[in-house]
Structures are given as structure tokens and as C-alpha cells.
Amino acid sequence: MCGIVGYIGTKKASPILINGLIRLEYRGYDSAGISTIEKEGLSIMKDQGRVKNLYNLDGIDKLEGTIGIAHTRWATHGKPSKENSHPHMDNEKTIGVVHNGIIENYNELRENLMQKGYTFYSQTDTEVVPNLINYYYKKETNKNKLGFLQAVKNACCDLKGSFALEIICKDFPDNMIVVRKDSPLVIGKGENENYISSDIPAILSFTKHFYLLNDLEYCILSRENAEFYDQNLKSIEKETESIEWNATSAEKDGFEDYMLKEIYEQPVAIRETVGAKLSENSKCEFNGLNFTKEYLKNINRIYIVACGTAMHAGLVGKNMIEKLCRIQTEVDIASEFRYRNPLIDEKTLCIFISQSGETADTIAALKLSKEQGAKTITITNVIGSSITREADYSLYTHAGPEIAVASTKAYTSQVILFATLAIYFAEILEINSEDVFTLKKDILELPKKIEETLKVSENIKDFAKKVYQEKDIFFLGRGIDETVAREGSLKLKEISYIHSESYAAGELKHGPIALIEKGITVIGIITDENLIEKTVSNLQEVITRGAKTLIITNQKVDNKMFDEVINIPCTNTLLSPILSIIPLQLFSYYISKEKGLDVDKPRNLAKSVTVE
């Protein structure tokens, strides 16, 4: 997930910019760069990889400029590379820009600019921005900073999508322009200096006084001042707001709890995790993976090893890999894996999942697998974590920081990464089935469907109020829905302390039905059209014994049969766990709130389990 930093003041900008980028490393990225205004003009230093790589760039220690912009990039348009990393310049190398967000009409803008003689050197959507500003500025008769602001405003009017922009120009070495629309950006006021960032925590150590920009508000920054303008470039007044939060509390962004914030961040987390890996009409790519068709054809099995919620993501991943690739896949609990003497050799591929990258059981299982000759992949949310230093390959979810102990966006990001990995394997194996093509299309549509799913919040809240005092709740599902039942049950246990169990719906009559009595709540998940009748039949068995029922579905069911039906958007069955889990995340959250519990820090649990 991208991060931006800016500085204008009396100190050397480059160390401040790099320090700010280091503070944003938790967001995830694949490249980094800075741009400063030097005596000889605009300087840009950037490279693929970690922020620390910037220290090795020739000449970076000689930068003297006191104004600059910086960026960590997570690829969305164009693969990770030095050319695609930010900052970007116009053709005349006078304007430097960093950008968070997505320019949806960049292809159209790019073609128009090319017809006007502009050349492009990257695959990014961002490169159109400095060139578009250049085009409008050359048409301005007023060549002062207000004329440049007018050019920036004209360019922004052409942009469709979301953006937070930091803009510098060598013609104005004492100014910087910033603007935002649907992407975060804050300005920190210091003594004869100003700081800019996408995240308050990144600059909280420098100042506690912030200007907060609304959409399409512009600011011309100097060392001493900040001049604000509305979208019509009429001057407006803004007062600073004092932020007394620490870095952690600053990240709540107005939400009452981290968990709720992270539930609502899932559309962005999914979009960022998919990134530039997948498009509808080209093959899936994973930077750093170099698997061959021969290797995948000779695999005897895949193990997916994880703990808790990550293990539930692995169960969904198993369905995806076996469906698309026809490779035998097993899912194991990490704490049990190495004690059962698993069958591992050089023809085994082991995939390990850990949100923190520090889960002790999972790391131990990984080491065992490597000792026995397996090739290893880790899926994690934390760059540079312990597990990434052990694995042969590391894949990142780019969900951003997840503070709440109960995982939400990390889980759905792990699931979407498995979907993308399964497509990657299938394409290497040359399994070009309709299933692969359809899944690609559905993945790209998923963020909008998650946003639609989040609208069921009030319905879930109302049902939670009716059942929050119950002692036992059961979750049922068939096929891939049974994996969602497991995760829904775990969420409820974690933060509400209500005893809950999940079962494959077909197993109900083999024992668990003895626990069903009048008034008990049963939650059913129905998203597989091939299993509707079977699942409804199993739910009928609990209804006749007096159970209350909540149904999460995207299929046609008889609403009158159940107490509450939550309808979610239709999608590929393999992706349905991403949508069907969201109402259950909200259900657990609202029950915990009704009980007056600490949602983010449930008793006895830790975010990162670093002991066996």
C-alpha cells in the first residue's frame, strides 16, 4: 500500500524524507524514491526494493535541497521496477510528482498527450500527471506560482479516480503544491517548516499540529506559510488541529474501534493485494516467483500450513488450487504439523501463512519442511518478518497494518492472494479453462462487491442485538461455505466469548443435532448453487427443533423459512468466502459491542503468537 512524505523547511530534505518512508514501511511496497529541488534543478533518486536501498544510490548523500517529496509504491499499473517507481517527472524535467490512488482514465489522457508530442517512459498511471500539468502550465500567461496552481487545478479536473498529490517545480524552489481527492493527505505545521504525509503517524514525531485537507482543496506550501484554496481556487482559511494521539491511536481515522475500521478497509486491502499481478487479458505474474511447468507437474502434493484464521484462509486456498490446478492439497495446523512426521520430499511444495510473519509454530514447521527438501512459500502481511527470511519465496498481502487482534482484512487478503496464486499455477500448467478466465474477471470486480456487502451492517447490527446474550451459537455450511462457518465461529469466540461451534451441515445428524433446542441460534451460509437444496434441508432440521436462523446467501432461498436472511452479491463460488465472511465479522463485532467488551483486545489473546 503506497505511502507519501513531503518536506519544505530549512533542513536538508533527503534524510527527513527517507526517515518518513521508513515509518511508512508497514504499509507494504515494492519500490521507493525521493525528489528534491537542488541548485542545478530537479533531482530524482529512486529504485526497486526496500527504502534502505536509497542509501546506496550514487549522489544521494550530496543532496542539499530543503524541499522534497517521497514515495513508497505498491504496484498497480506496471510491474515493480525502477522506471515505474515514483517520483515521476514531465518530459522537460521541471515538474516532480508523487501520487497515491488510481487514475482511472489514464489511458485516455496518455493517448491525448502523446498526440501532443509527449513521451512516456513508464507503465504507470501517475506519469500522465506531471505531463498534464506541464501542458496546462505552458498555456498559462501568468507564470508565477498562482499560474502554476491554475495549471495543477486544470490537470486535476481532467483526472478521474482517486489521488493525493505532492507537486514540486524547479521554477518555484520555495513552494510545493498538494491536493487530495479520496486519498489521505495531511500537512504538519512546524517552526519555519511544513511536513506532508499520507499518514499522521509518519510525521507525528515532528509536530502535533495538522492541517486536514478536504477533497479537491489545494495548498501552496512555503517554509513559513500554507495558503489554501477551494476547488474554484478561491482562497480559504484553515486552522491547525492539535493531535495529541500517539501513533497507534492516530490510525483509527474516526472509527470507534480498529476492528471496525479494518473491516471497512477490506475493499482497499483486496485491491492493493491483487495490485499489478493480475489483469483480465494477460497472464498472472508474481514478482520473484520462477516456477516452471515441469516443476509443478512433478509435485506430489501441496501442504498449506498455518494457525487460526490463517489456517481457515488455507482451507479456501485448498479448494482453489485443487479446482483450478488439480494438484492434491492438504491443510495442516502448524502446531501439529511437525509432530506427525509429515510426508515431505523434494517433490513437495509447502505454503505457510502468517499475518505477522512471526508465528512460532508456523516458522518451526517451515524449517522442518526445508530440512526435508521441500520448496517453501510464505504468505504474510509484514515485509522483513522472520518467516520471510526463512522461506524460499515470500508473497505479501499488502493489507496494511492490522491492529485489532481478531483478523479481518488480513484473512480476506490471504484468500484473494490464494486465488491469484492458483491462477498463476494454472497458467504455468497451461490449464486455460473457462474457470481461470472467469475467476480473473470476478477478482477484478470484487472490491466493489465488498463495498456493497458492507451495506448490510445495520441488518446485522439489529440481529446481533437480539442474540447477544446467548451462550451457544452454531454455524453450518457445505463445501466451501463450511470453511466460512469455521472462521465465523472463531471470530465470535475471539471477541464475544460466546461458545460457538461450526459444522459441515451434512454432519449435523451425526451427533451435533443433539445440541439443538428451542431458541438456540444457528447461522447458515449458502453460496454454492450446487448445494442449496442439501443445505436448506439440513437447516430445516434445526428449524423444526425450534432454532432461530440467520442465513448469509447470494442464492434464491425461501426467505419466509428463516428468521433473518442477509443477501450478499453474487460472485464466483471460489471467491464467495470473501463476501460471506463480512456479515459474520460484523455480527461478531456488534455482539461484542452490545456486551460492552474490548473489541480490539480480547482477553487472553495476542496479535502475534511468538511462542509455541
The domain of 364 spans: 258-432
Q: Can you give 526-537 as a three-state secondary structure string?
A: ECCHHHHHHHHH
Cβ–Cβ under 8 Å, residues 71 and 32? yes
Pairwise CA distance, residues 157 & 150, whole Å: 11
Is the domain of 214 the same as that of 282? no
Pairwise CA distance, residues 130 & 42, whole Å: 13
Lowest mean pLDDT among 286-290, 432-436, 499-503: 432-436
Pairwise CA distance, residues 528 & 535, whole Å: 10
Is the domain of 481 the same as that of 568? yes
pLDDT for the residue numbered 115? 97
Tell me which amino acid residue 403 is.
I
Q: DSSP labels for 85-144?
A: SSPEE-TTS-EEEEEEEEETTHHHHHHHHHHTT----SS-STTHHHHHHHHHHHH-S--S
Count of domains in the chain? 3
Q: DSSP labels for 233-263?
A: --EE----EE----TTGGGGTT-SSHHHHHH
CA distances from 285 to 42, 277, 289 (A): 34, 5, 8
pLDDT for the residue numbered 125? 92
Is the domain of 68 the same as that of 199? yes
Among 192-206, 381-395, 541-555, 583-597, which range has the highest average pLDDT?
583-597
Is there a cis peptide before residue 577, judged by omega within 30 degrees of 0? no
CA distances from 331 to 177, 326, 485 (A): 52, 15, 16
Query: 566 pairs with which residues across the strands?
Result: 552
Is the domain of 274 the same as that of 297? yes
Cβ-based neighbours of 281, under 8 Å, separated by 6 or more: none
Confidence of residue 244 (pLDDT cuts 50, 70, 90): low
* Residue 433: pLDDT over 80: no
Cβ–Cβ under 8 Å, residues 399 and 416? no
Cβ–Cβ under 8 Å, residues 520 and 547? yes
- Under DSSP, is residue 282 helix (H, G, I), strand (E, B) or coil? strand
Summary mean pLDDT of the chain: 90
Is the domain of 33 the same as that of 181? yes
- Give me the mean pLDDT over the 381-393 stretch: 82
Is the domain of 219 the same as that of 286? no
Catalytic site includes residue 2? yes
Pairwise CA distance, residues 591 & 505, whole Å: 24
44-87 tens-digit pLDDT: 999 998 888 899 899 999 999 999 999 988 777 888 888 999 99
- For residue 577, which of 488, 504, 490, 481 has the smallest C-alpha distance? 481
The answer as to whether 441 is a domain residue is no
The answer as to whether 443 is a domain residue is no
- Give me the mean pLDDT over the 260-270 stretch: 93
Q: Can you give 200-211 as a three-state secondary structure string?
A: HHHHCCCCCEEE
The answer as to whether 383 is a domain residue is yes
Q: How many Cβ atoms are within 10 Å of 307's Cβ, its own excluded? A: 23
Is the domain of 236 the same as that of 275? no
% of the chain surpassing 70 pLDDT: 97
Q: How far is CA 480 from the centre of its chain?
A: 23
The answer as to whether 546 is a domain residue is yes
Pairwise CA distance, residues 344 & 300, whole Å: 9
**Which of the residues 79, 466, 601, 607 is marked catalytic?**
607
The answer as to whether 166 is a domain residue is yes
518-557 tens-digit pLDDT: 989 999 999 998 998 889 988 989 999 989 999 999 998 8
- Under DSSP, is residue 555 helix (H, G, I), strand (E, B) or coil? coil
The answer as to whether 551 is a domain residue is yes
Q: How far is CA 361 from the centre of its chain?
A: 25
All 3 cell numbers of residue 121?
Answer: 517512459
* Residue 248: pLDDT over 80: no
CA distances from 36 to 46, 166, 239, 403, 459 (A): 12, 12, 28, 34, 51
Among 24-33, 199-208, 320-329, which range has the highest average pLDDT?
320-329
Q: How far apart are the first and last CA of the chain?
A: 31
pLDDT for the residue numbered 610? 40
The CATH number of residue 421's host domain is 3.40.50.10490
Is the domain of 284 the same as that of 135? no
269 CB burial (10 A radius; 0-12, 13-18, 19+): buried
Is the domain of 414 the same as that of 523? no
Is the domain of 264 the same as that of 299? yes
Cβ–Cβ under 8 Å, residues 114 and 108? no
Pairing of strands 209-212, 521-526: unpaired
Lowest mean pLDDT among 166-175, 555-564, 576-585: 555-564
3-state class percentages of the chain: helix first, strand second, coil last, to nearest 5: 40, 20, 35
The answer as to whether 393 is a domain residue is yes
- For residue 228, which of 209, 204, 243, 212 has the smallest C-alpha distance? 212
Exposure of 291 in the CB half-sphere (CA atoms within 13 A): 27
* Residue 140: pLDDT over 80: yes
Pairwise CA distance, residues 151 & 255, whole Å: 36
* Residue 28: pLDDT over 80: no
Cβ–Cβ under 8 Å, residues 481 and 535? yes
Is the domain of 240 the same as that of 267? no
Tell me which amino acid residue 47 is.
D
- Under DSSP, is residue 552 helix (H, G, I), strand (E, B) or coil? strand
Pairwise CA distance, residues 464 & 471, whole Å: 13
- For residue 119, which of 131, 106, 105 has the smallest C-alpha distance? 131
The answer as to whether 438 is a domain residue is no
The CATH number of residue 161's host domain is 3.60.20.10
Query: 45 pairs with which residues across the strands?
Result: 34
Q: How many Cβ atoms are within 10 Å of 1's Cβ, its own excluded? A: 23
**Which of the residues 2, 156, 325, 350 is marked catalytic?**
2
Is the domain of 154 the same as that of 205? yes
For cell 500537512, what's the residue?
A: 187
Q: How far is CA 59 from the centre of its chain?
A: 34
Pairwise CA distance, residues 594 & 333, whole Å: 32
Cβ–Cβ under 8 Å, residues 489 and 586? no
pLDDT for the residue numbered 611? 42
Catalytic site includes residue 607? yes
pLDDT for the residue numbered 246? 56
Q: DSSP labels for 168-236?
A: EETT-TT-EEEEEESS--EEEE-SS-EEEESSHHHHTTT-SEEEEPPTT-EEEE-SS-EEEE-TT--EE
